[in-house]
Amino acid sequence: AQSVTQLGSHVSVSEGALVLLRCNYSSSVPPYLFWYVQYPNQGLQLLLKYTTGATLVKGINGFEAEFKKSETSFHLTKPSAHMSDAAEYFCAVSEGGSNYKLTFGKGTLLTVNP
Amino acid sequence: EAGVAQSPRYKIIEKRQSVAFWCNPISGHATLYWYQQILGQGPKLLIQFQNNGVVDDSQLPKDRFSAERLKGVDSTLKIQPAKLEDSAVYLCASSLVGLGGDEQFFGPGTRLTVL
């Protein structure tokens, strides 16, 4: 069975600082991996995804993530935080196939301080 | 392109009452999902439709929850009777095909409070 662990339910950074949100997954087959962002009172929006190929994936708003199979990790980074990045971030995994099911982590709330 | 639409946005009911949520997916999307997001947790899949057939409802509490997707387009999720622990945000999502790696597009959700 697939599962996702997000380390740190709350991360606080200063504006302009590096953002690092951690995600580790468990999957019995090569996974598809996703990062979604959720702003208050809104649905989830896809930031980036890994399916196959290059392990460093670039997404919207300057975010990127690297798939490390040996570490079963898919950490999300952004070199310089902006106030508008404040939101909740969810890592998700899918084992793919014809029964496409996303399993989400519990989320990490990112706070950006001026 | 219009996104996933959901209504109502907010609903407050008392326990043992019934409630229904509506979802209109993105036009042309074959796959529709209902998720339950309890405060402080990630979304949990309740049911997945492929066109108007159910693909996965393994986490749907079938004694009180039901869902249908008539004509493979709109969908309704119903709870009857509601319990306090059903208080959550109910998210609807859709995807083009429903295969691994396919992006899911989410609606704004319906926030349910059960008193």
Express each pLDDT in B8-34 by its tens digit.
999 999 999 999 999 999 999 999 999
d(CA B72, CA A109) in angstroms, rounded, equals 36
CB neighbour class for B85 (10 Å; exposed up to 12, middle 13-18, buried from 19) = exposed
d(CA B100, CA B52) in angstroms, rounded, equals 19
CB contact under 8 A, A45 and B106: yes
Q: What tens-digit pLDDT sequence spans chain A (114 residues)?
A: 788 999 999 999 999 999 999 999 988 777 899 999 999 888 899 999 998 889 999 999 999 999 999 999 999 999 999 999 999 999 999 876 655 688 999 999 999 999
Joined tokens for residue B13? 């009911």
CB of B109 within 8 Å of a chain A CB? The answer is yes
CB contact under 8 A, B42 and A107: yes
CB contact under 8 A, B100 and A96: yes
CA distances from B97 to A54, B4, B48, B86, B94 (A): 23, 15, 12, 30, 9
- For B55, the closest chain A residue by CA position comes to A99
Cα A14 from chain centroid (whole Å): 19
Joined tokens for residue A9? 């339910």
Instruction: Name the minimum distance, in Å, from the CA of A57 to any CA of chain B.
Output: 13
Sequence-ordered list of residues with C-beta below 8 angstroms from that of A51, at least 6 positions apart, any chain? A32, B100, B101
Which residues does chain B have within 8 Å of residue A105's beta carbon, measured at their own beta carbons?
42
